[in-house]
């Protein structure tokens, strides 16, 4: 069975306070976009000779990676961690898992979180595990703050660690989007350490109701100031998107990818050779 995990963007992001558990409370709007990876799961036949790796034999989980390189051991991979969580609740077969990595890491696009959440949904369907959406979201929350969003995978207003949701009636399907990754790996922990949390004077829900033409000056991402000071190319990329005619441009999450929303499909030749994706909004 195969699925296609997609990226997300943040329409504004406020870091509102430091929590006692060391995390931060935020306010943001998650919106799914159509920049996709590919994930396939195949049940490993009992007669198939298993991988010679002792680690993989003990895991009953064999991960095959292609596309962009992924660092770390298999035990650190969110797909394997999701498999472990589900295995604690339901019996799962041995699996061959194929992930073609497309979304850059350290971009604020949620690629790893999307892979894990889509994997949870895929296994639930493929093996008829009968986990309800709330159960799948609870498992996803244990893997990452934005992971649970991808279980729903629709526009969401998120608070607390970014994992408490309220449904949002927001349709941007009439617009085009361009996402630029300026080849900067943004470290989320470092990004949070450079932000001074504060309660916003107005909620993002107020701004999102206004015309998109007003978002440029009001719908802000609190991470931009510090990331721009560290990596001026990120700020320049945002300005380049406005120069190309974007109605609204913003850094996604803790960076470093920047997106622009357009009325018509943009021409991005002047933006250089950075990895990028353009398409219609969902």
| Residues with catalytic roles | 8, 146
| End-to-end Cα spacing for the chain | 23
Q: Would you say 141 and 130 are in contact if contact means Cβ atoms under 8 Å apart? A: no
Q: Would you say 247 and 263 are in contact if contact means Cβ atoms under 8 Å apart? A: yes
DSSP assignments along 239-271, one per residue: HHHHHTT-SEEEE-TTSS-EEEEESS----GGG
SS3 content of the chain, % helix, strand, coil (to 5): 30, 25, 40
DSSP-assigned letter for residue 75: G
Q: Is the dihedral of CA 261, 267, 270, 276 positive or negative?
A: positive
């Amino acid at each position: 069975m195969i699925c296609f995990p997609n990226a997300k963007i943040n329409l504004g992001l406020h870091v509102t306070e430091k929590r006692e558990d060391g995390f931060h409370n935020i306010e943001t709007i998650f919106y799914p976009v159509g920049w996709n990876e590919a994930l396939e799961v195949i049940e490993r036949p009992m007669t198939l000779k298993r991988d010679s790796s002792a680690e993989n034999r003990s895991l009953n989980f064999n991960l095959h990676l292609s596309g962009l390189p992924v660092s770390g051991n298999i035990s650190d991979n969110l797909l394997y961690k999701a498999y472990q969580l589900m295995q604690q609740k339901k019996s799962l077969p041995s699996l061959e898992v194929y992930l073609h990595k497309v979304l850059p890491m350290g971009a604020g696009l949620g690629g790893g979180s999307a892979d894990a959440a889509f994997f949870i949904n895929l296994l639930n369907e493929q093996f008829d595990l009968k986990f309800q959406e709330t159960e799948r979201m609870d498992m996803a929350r244990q893997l990452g703050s934005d992971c649970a969003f991808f279980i729903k995978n629709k526009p969401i207003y998120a608070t607390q660690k970014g994992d408490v949701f309220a449904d949002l009636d927001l349709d941007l399907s009439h617009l085009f989007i361009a996402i630029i990754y300026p080849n900067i790996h943004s470290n989320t922990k470092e990004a949070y350490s450079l932000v001074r949390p504060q309660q916003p004077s107005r909620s993002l829900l107020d701004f999102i109701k206004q015309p998109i033409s007003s978002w440029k000056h009001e719908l802000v991402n609190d991470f931009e100031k510090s990331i721009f000071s560290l990596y001026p190319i990120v700020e320049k990329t945002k300005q380049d998107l406005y120069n190309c005619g974007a109605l609204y441009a913003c850094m996604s999450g803790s960076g470093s990818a920047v997106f622009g929303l357009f009325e018509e499909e943009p021409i991005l030749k002047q933006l250089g050779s950075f990895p990028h994706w353009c398409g219609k909004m969902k």
